[in-house]
Amino acid sequence: MQQRILGNSGLAVSAIGLGCMGMSFSYGPPRDKDEMIALLRAAVERGVTFFDTAEVYGPFINEELVGEALAPLRDRVVIATKFGFDIGTDPLTAPGLDSRPDNIRRVADASLKRLKTDVIDLFYQHRVDPDVPIEDVAGTVSDLIQAGKVRHFGLSEAGAQTIRRAHAVQPVAVLQSEYSLWSRQLETEIIPTLEELGIGLVPYSPLGRGFLTGAIDTTTRFGSDDFRSTLPRFTPAAIAANQALIDLLGRIATARQGTPAQVALAWLLAQKPWIVPIPGTTKLARLEENIAAASLVLTKDDLAEIERTAASIAIEGDRYPESLERMTGR
């Protein structure tokens, strides 16, 4: 697979990464461990080198899964994980934050053990903690880098000023935030800031939590253990209103002999050369479909049609319920 460099960090990864959260957390019960280990190793064999996890996914069991699966292949992969949630709270409905320096150090040591590695390639603050100055967070991760426990510092869902303040203390290699054709809030201020500072962008939910694949419609029902059941964008009314976006992706996909998901990922790759999406999946066929998106080239006319048509579509529904939306863009 093609490789991309995340900003000025020198961190080279596959153009398409793999978000591992859904294997253990948020989208129903954890999947079969042996099947997910096989899927993770299949991803490496197909050229994926960038894997994303976090201590809160489970908690803990996703890091353990990733660690066990990738330990024999460690020299071929880049592993990203995250700190910053209070594990004693409910991460889906009433999460608490904890980016105190002592906790960051504790999480780093625990994550290293669970990931079966001696260094974390990319260590993100999962959400900005308003009770801890970002300079203290960046300084603590800088100490971990000096100690050889971490290679690169990342932020997730941070606002432009927070990014600048952190970057002044310890260079931020990567921002991970939601970005896709139906979540474009980064384009006004964040992406120009990243370009100015030489910071890479890793979009999570690049397929809109499955919506942009075209597999979800107004008849789809989500179980109570599926995070999407709590999201305003996944009500039947919002799904119906947003169907125009799927129709657009479908038209381009037909012309390019691809799928809506592949067009959605190819569109992201076409935005900047330092963008690396991390679609998640638990199925080998979907993994291979997503990987193939790296080879799908959208023409200037395709991109112009997407921009023109998308501009006329008013996306219905917030990304998150209010309690979680307050934790983004700080």
Residues annotated as catalytic are: 57
> Hey, which residues does 80 pair with through a beta bridge?
52, 122
- What is d(CA 178, CA 131) in angstroms, rounded to the nearest whole number? 23
14 membership: H or E segment, kind and range? strand 12-14
| Beta carbons of 6 and 274 less than 8 angstroms apart | yes
Parallel, antiparallel or unpaired: strands 50-52 and 18-19: parallel
Number of H helices, E strands in the chain: 12, 11
- What is d(CA 175, CA 153) in angstroms, rounded to the nearest whole number? 9
Q: Torsion angle of alpha carbons 170, 174, 179, 180, nearest 10°?
A: 160
CB atoms within 10 A of CB 272: 15
DSSP state, residue 121: E
> Hey, which residues does 19 pair with through a beta bridge?
52, 280
